[in-house]
């Protein structure tokens, strides 16, 4: 028996950024527990691209900066997160929905988080180039408050990590 694959869709009836981006960003209760279980499952079963990039990011190999994998950031599970630098790294599978990716990236950006997105093929074919791009962004001075102002949002996002 084949399990049905769940897909995520988006509503195109959005009226631009919400006045309080954090209101739609924070997750609690049952939804948070579901996200934690999903993140744990994704850590146990990473894609080949995630394995390849994690081999380069784990153990604070990039200038002593710590990354976590499959972390819950707001209402999303991100592939890699660097809370100290307010950076998340997302890997896009060939069959991922670009509209959903764009929405997720925008929601993270609205709360002052920098998003770096790479395709899985890019990581598998050019992992050293991807790591150089990540390292370059890690070394760019970043002011979370001014980033939120540019995105038109005032509240801060939160990182939740239950790596284990």
Q: What is the pTM of this model?
A: 0.73
Report whether CATH 3.20.20.140 matches the domain 22-160.
no
Burial (CB count <10 Å: 0-12, 13-18, 19+), residue 36: middle
> Could you tell me the two tokens for 107?
């929601």
How do the pLDDT tens digits run along the chain, 164 residues long? 444 444 444 444 444 444 455 555 567 788 899 999 999 999 999 999 999 999 999 998 888 999 999 999 888 899 999 999 999 999 999 999 999 999 999 999 988 899 999 999 999 999 999 999 999 999 888 776 665 565 554 344 444 545 54
The total number of residues shown for the chain amounts to 164
Where are the extended beta strands (E) located within the chain? 68-73, 76-82, 87-92, 114-119, 159-160
SS3 156: coil
């Amino acid at each position: 028996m084949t399990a049905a694959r769940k897909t995520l869709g988006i509503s195109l009836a959005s009226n631009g950024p919400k006045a309080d981006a954090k209101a739609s960003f924070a997750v609690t209760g049952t939804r948070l527990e579901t996200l934690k279980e999903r993140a744990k499952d994704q850590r146990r079963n990473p894609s080949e691209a995630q394995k390849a990039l994690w081999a380069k990011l784990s153990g604070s190999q990039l200038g002593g900066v710590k990354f976590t994998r499959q972390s819950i950031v707001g209402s999303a599970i991100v592939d890699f997160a660097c809370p100290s630098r307010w950076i998340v790294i997302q890997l896009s599978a060939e069959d991922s929905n670009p509209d959903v990716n764009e929405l997720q990236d925008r929601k993270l950006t609205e709360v002052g988080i920098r998003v770096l997105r790479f395709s899985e093929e890019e990581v598998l074919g050019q992992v050293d180039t991807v790591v150089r791009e990540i390292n370059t962004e890690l070394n760019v001075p970043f002011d979370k408050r001014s980033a939120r102002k540019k995105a038109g949002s005032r509240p801060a996002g939160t990182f939740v990590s239950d790596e284990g």
